[in-house]
Structure 1
Amino acid sequence: MKNININISVPNEILLTLRESDNELALNMKRWAALKLFEDKRLSIGQSAELAEMTEEDFVRYLSSNKVSVFPYRNVNELVEDMDNA
């Protein structure tokens, strides 16, 4: 798969405040984006893990540590509806 580079300008003060290198911030931004895109059902677990530069197993742990469920249901009603449609 071909990768595309995306450039984002960040004030140096942000890096100083976060006490992160530009590479650390970039990786964290990718992981936060992957988490949010998975949570919003826009990417699969595999796609999200790839974006986050993690194995699927590590990404599932990352989701858990951020209190995001791997199950696509936001409430019991969505689960019941899905089961009724099965």
Structure 2
Amino acid sequence: MIQIQINLPESAFSTLRSTPDEFAQAMLLAAIVKWYEIGMISQSKAAEIAGISRQSFLQTLDQFKVSPFQTTPEELNEEINRG
């Protein structure tokens, strides 16, 4: 596993009332959710990167109020009109 070092002011941890490890995990989840939301990664890849199950990732999406579906309204209309 590769480690990445990020320099943050100590006040960053008090913002979320967390330890450095909890803060790092929260940052990782936020990034992964955003990458999923914009279509950069799949649910399976997101769960793998986060080190959690796909079901846990779906629960994380719900916490961030992000849809688990990556279909745009336009794609959905196309699918409906094909039928």
TM-score range, shorter chain: 0.7 to 0.9
C-alpha RMSD of matched pairs (Å) = 1.9
Letter in 2 for 1:71: F
TM-score (normalizing by structure 2): 0.84
Whether the aligned pair in 2 keeps the contact of 1:31 and 1:51 (CA below 8 Å) is no
Higher relative CO (Cα under 8 Å, sequence separation at least 6) belongs to 2
In the alignment, structure 1 residue 36 sits paired with structure 2 residue 44: no
Residue 67 and residue 17 in structure 1: after superposition, are their counterparts in 2 closer, same or farther (change >3 A)?
closer
Ranges in structure 1 where 5+ consecutive residues have no aligned partner: none
Structure 2's unaligned 5+ residue stretches are none
* Residue of structure 2 in register with 1:81 after alignment: 78
TM superposition shift of 1:28: 0.4
In the superposition, the TM-score normalised over structure 1's length comes to 0.82
Query: Which aligned segments of 4 or more residues in structure 1 are displaced greater than 6 angstroms?
Result: none
Kindly provide the amino acid, as one letter, of the partner of residue 45 in structure 2.
Answer: Q
Give the share of equivalent positions with the same residue, in percent.
32
**Out of 63, 66, 72, which is 2:64 matched to?**
66
Q: How many equivalent residue pairs?
A: 83
